[in-house]
Amino acid sequence: MVFCLIGLSTETFSQHNNDKLIIEDINFVSEGDTLSGTMVIPSNKSKLSAVVEIHGSGKTKRNLGLAKFFATQGIAFLTYDKRGVGKSQGKYVGGENNASAENLILLSKDAYAAFKALKKRLSSDTVKIGLFGGSQVGWIAPVTASYDKEIRFMALMSAPVVTVGQEMHFSRIAGKNPHFFNEYSKSKIDEIIAKSPKTGFDPITYLKTLRIPVLWVYGDLDRSIPVFESIKNLNRIQKETNQDYKIELLTNRDHNLSNGKNDHYALNLIIEWIKKDNLWLTAPN
């Protein structure tokens, strides 16, 4: 379940004027290991929100280009090398244990350590800090958010709201079939989900405990996660607990929210949502 934002690299945004950005490398400790990242903070904005980027399942380094993209829109951004990758210590867990409950909880603690580092650097309660990421982050971010009420929002892309067992069952059938959505009707997809094992980590337990705004962005051609089952679960949670959810389903978009072009539609949608008044406060002097 690897997630990749097409066209978003350090080089993509090298044309931005770095004089308007504060770029700082940072180290922070999580579960005894030192993780390494970079903060990019807008230097000339009268309003400010901030996000911590959480990585999906891949062996991923910090994305400075993405951080600059957000910061030029007035949103401070912390991106870091996943544990065991790049300059970060620890062990990267791949293979069948990548989505184990133990590893997901560990990664949630890494994200929380990153949140605390960013909060300390911004050193003001007037900056609202949230969590951002895609794919496997749908299992990690709700756990991280449950640790601290100062985590004010989440913006998640292609995030599974099903158990690990259900996602793996669906992706084994759909992932290798490029014609899946042409060959399988909605009723057949529902049958696949109904037969999938509800085993492994379940994010719904954590989601029900949260009371923060969440933006969920999906593509209707995602063959990695069961999008429509995830949305059904979100609607049920929203009805049961009166959650502040906004769900966006993008047409002709895959797991990476790509339509085959290097557009930034999904990211721009997320940035505009974060910039709503309820997520912004006056930045400190």
- Write the pLDDT tens digit of every residue in 125-134: 578 999 999 9
Asked, for residue 285, whether it belongs to a domain, the answer is no
Q: Please state the domain count of the chain.
A: 1
pLDDT computed for residue 277 by the predictor: 60
Average pLDDT for 218-243: 96
Residue with the bigger pLDDT between 200 and 97: it is 200
Average pLDDT for 58-78: 95
Asked, for residue 4, whether it belongs to a domain, the answer is no
Asked, for residue 194, whether it belongs to a domain, the answer is yes
pLDDT computed for residue 43 by the predictor: 84
Supply the range of the domain harboring residue 24: 11-277
Asked, for residue 127, whether it belongs to a domain, the answer is yes
Average pLDDT for 199-222: 96
Average pLDDT for 18-42: 93
Asked, for residue 62, whether it belongs to a domain, the answer is yes
pLDDT computed for residue 258 by the predictor: 83
Asked, for residue 284, whether it belongs to a domain, the answer is no
Can you tell me which residue has the tokens 């062990």?
91
User: How high is the mean pLDDT of the chain?
Assistant: 90
Asked, for residue 118, whether it belongs to a domain, the answer is yes
pLDDT at position 169 over 70: yes
Instruction: Name, of 9-23, 139-153, 248-262, the range with top average pLDDT.
Output: 139-153
Say which residues have a Cβ less than 8 Å from residue 272's Cβ, sequence separation at least 6.
none
Residue type, 264: H
DSSP string, 106-172: HHHHHHHHHHHHHHHHH--TTSEEEEEEETTHHHHHHHHHHT-TTEEEEEEES---S-HHHHHHHHH
Nearest CA to 229 out of 182, 179, 194 is that of 194
pLDDT at position 185 over 50: yes
pLDDT at position 108 over 70: yes
Classify strands 33-42 and 21-30 as parallel, antiparallel or unpaired. antiparallel
Nearest CA to 147 out of 122, 120, 110 is that of 110
pLDDT at position 259 over 50: yes
CATH of the domain at 58: 3.40.50.1820
pTM (two decimals): 0.91
Confidence band, pLDDT 50/70/90 cuts, at residue 281: low
Asked, for residue 64, whether it belongs to a domain, the answer is yes
Average pLDDT for 136-162: 97
pLDDT at position 15 over 50: no
